[in-house]
Amino acid sequence: MDGIAVEAGATYGASETRPVVLEPDSGFDWVDTGDPMPKGRNAVIMSEDVTWLDSGAAEIIAPASPWQHVRAIGEDIVATELLFAEGHIVRAADVGALLAAGIWQVKVRRKPIVALIPTGDEIVEPSQRLAGEKPALREGDIIESNTYVQSALVAEWGGNPLRLAVVGDDAEELKSALLGALDQADIVAINAGSSAGSEDFTVDIIRSVGEVLVHGIAQRPGKPVVLGRSSHGGRWKPVIGVPGYPVSAFITFSTFVEPVVKAMLGLRPQEHETVDATLARKVASPAGVEEFLRVKVGRVGGKLIASPVSRGAGVITSVVRADGIVRVPRMSEGIAEGATVKVALLRPRSEIENTVVAIGSHDPGLDLLGSIMRRRTGTGLSSSHAGSLGGLMALRRNEAHVAGTHLIDETTGEYNTSYLAQIMPGKRILLMALANREQGLIVPKGNPRGITGLEALASGHVRIVNRQRGAGTRVLLDLLLKRLGAVPGTVPGYDHEEYTHTAVASAVASGVADCGLGVLAAARALGLDFVPVAKELYELAILEENADDPRVKAMIEALRSEEFKTALQEMGGYDTSVTGLERWWPR
Amino acid sequence: MDGIAVEAGATYGASETRPVVLEPDSGFDWVDTGDPMPKGRNAVIMSEDVTWLDSGAAEIIAPASPWQHVRAIGEDIVATELLFAEGHIVRAADVGALLAAGIWQVKVRRKPIVALIPTGDEIVEPSQRLAGEKPALREGDIIESNTYVQSALVAEWGGNPLRLAVVGDDAEELKSALLGALDQADIVAINAGSSAGSEDFTVDIIRSVGEVLVHGIAQRPGKPVVLGRSSHGGRWKPVIGVPGYPVSAFITFSTFVEPVVKAMLGLRPQEHETVDATLARKVASPAGVEEFLRVKVGRVGGKLIASPVSRGAGVITSVVRADGIVRVPRMSEGIAEGATVKVALLRPRSEIENTVVAIGSHDPGLDLLGSIMRRRTGTGLSSSHAGSLGGLMALRRNEAHVAGTHLIDETTGEYNTSYLAQIMPGKRILLMALANREQGLIVPKGNPRGITGLEALASGHVRIVNRQRGAGTRVLLDLLLKRLGAVPGTVPGYDHEEYTHTAVASAVASGVADCGLGVLAAARALGLDFVPVAKELYELAILEENADDPRVKAMIEALRSEEFKTALQEMGGYDTSVTGLERWWPR
């Protein structure tokens, strides 16, 4: 406190009728807040409680009690007291406590070095491509990514990653790379190529410099992992053979390397926040392996819903898009729809809670909408492609807030409503128009086959790429072909199914198909040509009970913004005069 | 899959009775898992389903369906599809998705630069001390710590901290430092010294280069914050005047700078996990300010309990030791004991849940026990000093699992049990012995006053430092003095209270007192001398209902370990022959 420092005893007896007068120096010293206590004083009287006499003496009318307004030594930190227990991670405020305690240096655990060896003749370093050394990828080349993911994981866990050069499929070369890595690192990970036999290759090499402890585990993805160790250099060091498929690599590396890095740091593996969620769809899983199921999670209708995403071990986006992991136990053959599952979250729960879940037809405008929503309101849009029908089914099962749909009725030519009546009788639905969009045939640049419309397909001379069952685009194709008198199933390529407009465009770009029905944006994005065939109404279906959800409202607000309409028009093929119009069904 | 790539049409009709034979090259190509599909093929037959003829031809007995065992283009990532919405933070797996998509470079937000200016004539840089430039601290020196804490916070939030040199209390010097900071940084924080008036100083300087928007807020700690801005250099930049007290500095810097840094990064401030907890003690708070109450949190008896820690704005350990923050609203005068409060957690919930809560007498052995527990079992020990009586009261209120206690009964001379009977009648208590420990008079090195025992205190010629009411050591002192025929309250210094053994030792070391009763470890730690006066039993009291808690069991396991006993003996003054012995009360 700002005031005067005194010896409390000298103030005893002071009162309004009998004030005590203290002389400067002999009776008091001025102190400011934070000043050390002058010798011989043991109390502070606040300046507002002092009356100043002309002589410079201080008059007080109440006694001070000893140590009043004095911060005692040891109120904060006392020498030799424990500030932090062993294994503590130093946070920002801790730095202040250390400095205040006069500690300029602390002993910390050395970051373990994890060497990462990519292997495989087919592996191409992104840096080579970036530097123009290998300007183009050849067919069969695989861009190295696993060791980059692992570098980021090791750094996240508090270790020091050491990415080594790609080693080709050569036993001697790999052995020497492994020995070199063991010289420098505390842990070594050998990344198998994705080609056949490369995993056995890893086993032999590890055996040649140490021992193999485990080869293959009852886990999916990640079954072919190799766990070994080597005493090269005098100390046992763990060596792991990581499978080549990106998801297997990610999951096994996380499962087996994180605990070792953390143990070397004196820490325990990070516990992901776990939530209980309702499984949206039945999952079959082979008994005998523990499956790491990637799921999307969203709060719909008051419940957390977990929807499984792609299960392919090669599909890295199944990890990227996942909100969490569900472990299907080894002795189970799967999990029933509607069962409660434990989900270890990969994203902050607050982010998951603040997300609109959209399942249904794929339109590139949804990605645009998601970005604009996020920037404007902070609310996210998690969008899964399941086709228009799939989306309405998800809505019925209460798995989604929103279903993008463009299902034409064969009889009436009207969009969406007849399907709602069939799939969700008795439910009231809000339909928000995204746009009238142009559907057309995506054809190679220059349209080499001279396709001018669907008549070409009816002729049976061109090979198409189709969308999956339940996709609105497929329903439209069937309808248009029938109107031309063709039998859809007989069109060449009819059974070649893709799940998105862009996948259809890719199939055309790669020459697998001559054309496919899709939106203009997809054709443009891949530099292909486009033959318009129909305009259709694309709507977002929302259950009445979710229409007032603040997240859904944030989405509608973004949908109706000029920013969204302008951006949608710029993509081409969209008529935004209907964008943001709403209708209810039943009316 | 490893196998042969074929044109599915060529296999139609194959059966066991009518096998189809395919010739190499013309009829099939060998493929390994991960290989690209050869031109003209659209299905893969697994090698185990092929019978090899001597000619090298492949015989198959079942038709292949188109695209079987073929990963379609676009199963993972298709060109132009949105991988991440704007504002996404790139995680480890995302790096894999970017590389797999052929994206070698991404545009990211620039990290905002936050300039941190320490001010005050009394401020000493730790680096100066480390470099030997200012070898010793003078009285009144304050070691700079706030800008180091802020550096760590800024880095945590994703910004780039820029610590500038200490500026003395000189207006011109500070103005030129501020202008220099505005040239380099996006945000500038001026840290006030702790001396009087230094905050008004900041106000004047900010006004001289821009404008002051806010001076003083209804928040505690942190009231004197200054918020301003300057357009020096052409662009408005925020300037904050941060109060000098460490806790005020920490809270205001977090409250006002984090949202700005995050907004510049396109992010929202991190949401701390919030839990509901029961407030252990009534808290009075002045109406008109919002108080940021620091609390410890523990799960005791199935409930999360929040216990307020020190509220001093200068006590940085009140942040360091806190598990969370409770906001006491502006219009309230406090919160009642037992009320449910929202706690924003500062530590991971899993860590908090895995912690034994100890409240009670202070013994240095508890810190030791905590470190050993953590290393052996991962369970933490959170230990608050409230004296023996305070600990038993906390036990009764179900705020703690464990209370360290050494209360001697004046009549029987027995330890602890008579107090349990009084404070917790009807409750059954487990008492675990920590040790028999030596209590004695802590005296300056060389014992200049020649103190040989408590008789010196009874004489009235030496000045003591005492422990707070309810401390076992004070109870012991009273008892021993009475046995000598002295009236405890008349001993000089009897009213000078400290809360721990080490604080007592500090008071002796600094010359404020001639001696004080405490344990040998405290005297040794500060290089003081020690005159033994009594041995006493220090026990850990545990309610029967908590005795089987796995965390408590982990503590008992550590307490009984040879490692703990050895370390305790090394501290000196402990007889560990009783360590780990248990007794129940009532028997």
249-268 in A: which are within 8 Å (CB) of B? 250, 266, 268
512-541 in A: which are within 8 Å (CB) of B? 512, 522, 525-526
Helix (H) or strand (E) holding B381: strand B380-385
Residue of A nearest to B248 (CA): A93
Cα–Cα distances (Å) from B164 to B135, B151, B199, in that order, read 22, 11, 19
pLDDT tens-digit series, residues A164-185: 999 988 899 999 999 999 999 9
Report the interhelical angle of A364-377 vs A550-559 (nearest 10°). 110
pLDDT in tens, chain B (587 residues): 778 999 888 898 888 899 999 998 889 998 877 677 888 888 899 888 899 898 889 999 988 877 788 776 556 676 667 788 888 889 999 999 999 888 888 999 999 999 999 998 888 888 766 565 555 667 778 889 999 999 999 999 999 999 999 998 889 999 999 999 999 999 999 998 655 566 678 899 999 999 999 998 888 888 889 999 999 988 999 999 999 888 999 999 999 999 999 999 988 777 788 999 999 888 888 788 899 999 999 999 889 999 888 777 777 888 888 999 999 998 888 898 889 999 999 888 888 999 999 999 988 899 899 989 988 888 999 888 888 999 999 999 888 999 999 999 988 989 999 999 999 998 999 999 999 999 999 999 999 999 999 999 888 889 999 998 888 999 999 999 999 999 999 999 998 888 888 889 988 988 889 999 999 988 988 899 999 999 999 999 999 999 999 999 999 999 999 999 999 999 889 999 999 999 999 88
Kindly give the residue spans of alpha helices, DSSP state H, lying in B220-284: 246-264
CB contacts of A197 in chain B (<8 Å) are 32
Residue of A nearest to B122 (CA): A35
Kindly give the residue spans of alpha helices, DSSP state H, lying in A387-545: 387-396, 417-423, 455-458, 472-483, 501-509, 520-525
Interchain proximity B246–A102, CB inside 8 Å: no
The pLDDT assigned to B101 comes to 84
Tokens matching residue A307: 């929807």
What is the arithmetic mean of pLDDT over A195-199?
59
d(CA A202, CA A111) in angstroms, rounded, equals 26
Task: For chain A, say whether B106 makes contact (Cβ under 8 Å).
Answer: no
d(CA A338, CA B563) in angstroms, rounded, equals 51
Interchain proximity A320–B94, CB inside 8 Å: yes
Kindly give the residue spans of alpha helices, DSSP state H, lying in B196-316: 198-209, 246-264
Identify the sign of the CA torsion B37, B38, B43, B49.
negative
In 3-state terms, what secondary structure has residue A362?
coil
The pLDDT assigned to A267 comes to 85
Residue of B nearest to A348 (CA): B271
Spatial contact of A468 and A517, defined as CB atoms under 8 Å apart: no
pTM: 0.82
The pLDDT assigned to B197 comes to 61
CB contacts of A572 in chain B (<8 Å) are none
Q: Sorting pLDDT into bands at 50, 70 and 90, what band is A196?
A: low
Q: Dihedral, CA atoms, A441, A444, A445, A447, nearest 10 degrees?
A: -70
In Å, how far is B341's CA from the nearest CA of chain A?
A: 20
Q: Which residues contact A555 (CB under 8 A, 6 or more apart)?
A: A356, A369, A373, A379, A381, A402
41-80 in B: which are within 8 Å (CB) of A? 66-67, 71-80
**pLDDT of A577 above 80:** yes
Phi and psi at residue B264, to the nearest 5°: -65, -25
d(CA B70, CA B140) in angstroms, rounded, equals 76
In Å, how far is A425's CA from the nearest CA of chain B?
A: 34
- The per-residue DSSP string of B499-553 comes to SSHHHHHHHHHTTS-SEEEEEHHHHHHTT-EEEEEEEEEEEEEEEGGGTT-HHHH
In Å, how far is B412's CA from the nearest CA of chain A?
A: 34
Strand order in the sheet with B58-60: B20-22, B58-60, B51-52
In this structure, the strands spanning B274-279 and B303-308 are parallel
In this structure, the strands spanning B211-215 and B226-230 are antiparallel
The distance in angstroms from the start CA to the end CA of chain B is 71
Instruction: Specify the residue for token string 């997809």.
Output: A522
Long-range CB contacts (within 8 A, 24+) of B50-59:
B50/B3, B50/B4, B51/B19, B53/B21, B56/B24, B57/B21, B57/B22, B57/B23, B57/B24, B57/B27, B58/B4, B58/B21, B58/B22, B58/B24, B58/B27, B58/B28, B59/B19, B59/B20, B59/B21, B59/B22
As for the ipTM of the complex, it is 0.82
The distance in angstroms from the start CA to the end CA of chain A is 72
Interchain proximity B92–A375, CB inside 8 Å: no
d(CA B318, CA A34) in angstroms, rounded, equals 18
